[in-house]
Structure 1
Amino acid sequence: MRNKTVLITGANDGIGRATAERLARKGAHLVLACRNETSAQHTADWLVEHTGNRNIDTLPLDLSSLRSVRDASEIFLADYPRLDVLINNAGIYCESLELTEDGYELQFGVNHLGHYLLTLNLLPAMQCANICSRVINVSSALHTKGGIDFGNLRGERGPGAYDGTAAYAQSKLANILFTKELNRRHGSELTTNCLHPGVVGTSLASKKGKFFTRAIWSLYKPFARTPERGADTSVYLASSPEVREVSGRYFNPTQCLVKPSPTACNEQLARRLWEYSETAVRDFLL
């Protein structure tokens, strides 16, 4: 991974931080794209000290704001000649209806729409890499419980009808549909894959979960996979020569190819989601 530039969203915590550490030890030039700039800088300093890799930069990025995604994209393209690996890792889970700055349901906006815009805006840096660049989308096995409700992506049905788990599953399904459609449209220029990291003991379920969810998660968390193990497949997809020419596929926590749900393989749905997303972000495309 030496001389390779890798951008990781949500790299200051959980799986993202563990992924960053592993790739830093492999010699990659890392860009930690995070909403909390102070935490990102602390992580960068820690990585420099503990891995000996001084090529660790930070990039302010709030995926709940399309304006922030556009601004971060502009900064990256101005500062870096190419991007070898983009890891769309950041994610959020919430049990009550919240909206992004642009009026989209928060989990859909952060987990899918922000990453969609970031990826499209950074395509010029990936298309000019010396070898085929890689896009890696962190999804979840919960995508099997999801569908895309185009009539409720802005929370139109109101807070009383909101199901946080269903919204999370929807966003993770969107990650896979995006992976497949990006591969269809740009498969000759880069590779795009997605993964389920396993049930990992991160703070995902406790940040915006209700009291009961936080309590249950605190009991289960010690038995979950560690973030270090949760990073295994992201690191594999980012660095292994075995997947240099593999694209449009879904991997499990043990780096095996598996088939996602039938809904995730629906080409018509993938195209419709792409078109919806493109319209949603059009004012922020570079």
Structure 2
Amino acid sequence: MQDKTVLITGANDGIGRATAERLARKGAHLVLACRSETKAQRTADQIVEATGNERIDTLPLDLADLSSVRAASELFLAEHPRLDVLINNAGVYCEKLELTTDGYELQFGVNHLGHFLLTLNLIPAMQCTKICGRVINVSSAMHSKGGIDFGNLRGERGPKAYNGTRAYAQSKLANVLFTKELDRRHGSELTTNCLHPGVVGTQLANKKGKLFTKTIWSLYKPFARSPESGADTSVYLASSPEVREVSGRYFNPTQCLIKPSPTARNEQLARRLWDYSEAAVSDFLL
């Protein structure tokens, strides 16, 4: 990874933080894309101290605001001639209906739509790599519980009808469908894969979950996989020569290829989601 540039979203905490440090130890040039510039810089300083790798940059990015995603894309392209690996890692879970700046249900907006726009805007940088650029989408086994409710992606059914777990599963399904369709459309230019990191003891459920969820998760978290273990498959897909030509696939926490759910393999649904997403971000495409 000595000559590779890697952008990781949500790299200041959890799986993203662990992924960043491990790739830094491999010599990668990292760009930590985070909502909080303060936290991103603190993480960058800690990684430099821990690894001795000083090639750690930060990039302000709020995935809940499409104008911020566009601005981050422009800034990255202005400062970096190429992108070898894009790890769409950041995620949010919430149990009450919240909307993004642009009016989309928060989990769909952050976990899918923001990453969709970021990826499309950065494709030119990935086309500049000597070897195929890699896109890695952190999904979840929860995708198998999801469906895409096109009539409720802006929370049209209201807060009383909102189910946070169902919305999370929907967003993770969108990650897999996006992986499949991006491979279909751009497979000759880059590789795209997605993964389930396992049940990892991060702060995901503690940030916007209800008190009951926070309590249960806090009790369970010590028994879950560590963020370091949760980063295993992301690091593998970013750095291993074994997957250099593998694309459009779904990997489990032990780096094995597995089939995603039948819904996630629905090509018509993947194309419909792409068309919807492309229309949603059209004003922010570069």
**Both proteins in one fold, TM over 0.5:** yes
Corresponding residue for 2:72?
72
CA distance in 1, matches of 2:37, 2:170: 28
Corresponding residue for 1:55?
55
Q: 1:154-177: per-residue Cα shift (whole Å, max 9, x none)?
A: 000000000000000000000000
Are 2:233 and 1:233 aligned? yes
Q: 1:153-206: per-residue Cα shift (whole Å, max 9, x none)?
A: 000000000000000000000000000000000000000000000000000001
What is the identity, as a one-letter code, of the residue corresponding to 2:165?
T
What is the identity, as a one-letter code, of the residue corresponding to 2:217?
W
SS at match of 2:30: strand
Q: 1:57-91: per-residue Cα shift (whole Å, max 9, x none)?
A: 00000000000000000000000000000000000
Q: TM-score, normalised by structure 2?
A: 1.00
Corresponding residue for 2:219?
219
Q: 1:191-230: per-residue Cα shift (whole Å, max 9, x none)?
A: 0000000000000001000000000001100000000000
CA distance in 1, matches of 2:285, 2:239: 29
CA distance in 2, matches of 1:36, 1:148: 30
CA distance in 2, matches of 1:281, 1:127: 21
CA distance in 1, matches of 2:155, 2:48: 42
CA distance in 1, matches of 2:14, 2:242: 26
Residue 128 of structure 1: how far off its partner (Å): 1.1
Q: 1:16-51: per-residue Cα shift (whole Å, max 9, x none)?
A: 000000000000000000001100000000011110
Runs (4+) of structure 1 moved beyond 6 Å? none
Corresponding residue for 1:122?
122
What is the identity, as a one-letter code, of the residue corresponding to 1:47?
I
Residue 112 of structure 1: how far off its partner (Å): 0.0
RMSD: 0.2
What is the identity, as a one-letter code, of the residue corresponding to 1:83?
L
Corresponding residue for 1:277?
277
Structure 2 gaps, min length 5: none
Corresponding residue for 2:24?
24
Are 2:242 and 1:242 aligned? yes
Corresponding residue for 2:93?
93
CA distance in 1, matches of 2:218, 2:88: 26
Q: 1:101-156: per-residue Cα shift (whole Å, max 9, x none)?
A: 00000000000000000000000000111110000000000000000000000000
Corresponding residue for 1:170?
170
CA distance in 2, matches of 1:245, 1:131: 10
What is the identity, as a one-letter code, of the residue corresponding to 1:48?
V
Paired residue total: 286
What is the identity, as a one-letter code, of the residue corresponding to 1:41?
Q
Structure 1 gaps, min length 5: none
Corresponding residue for 2:182?
182
SS at match of 2:95: coil
Are 2:232 and 1:210 aligned? no
Corresponding residue for 1:267?
267
SS at match of 1:225: coil
1:136-155 → structure 2 map (5 Å cutoff): 136-155=136-155
Q: TM-score, normalised by structure 1?
A: 1.00
SS at match of 1:254: coil
CA distance in 1, matches of 2:119, 2:50: 30
SS at match of 2:194: strand
CA distance in 1, matches of 2:50, 2:284: 37
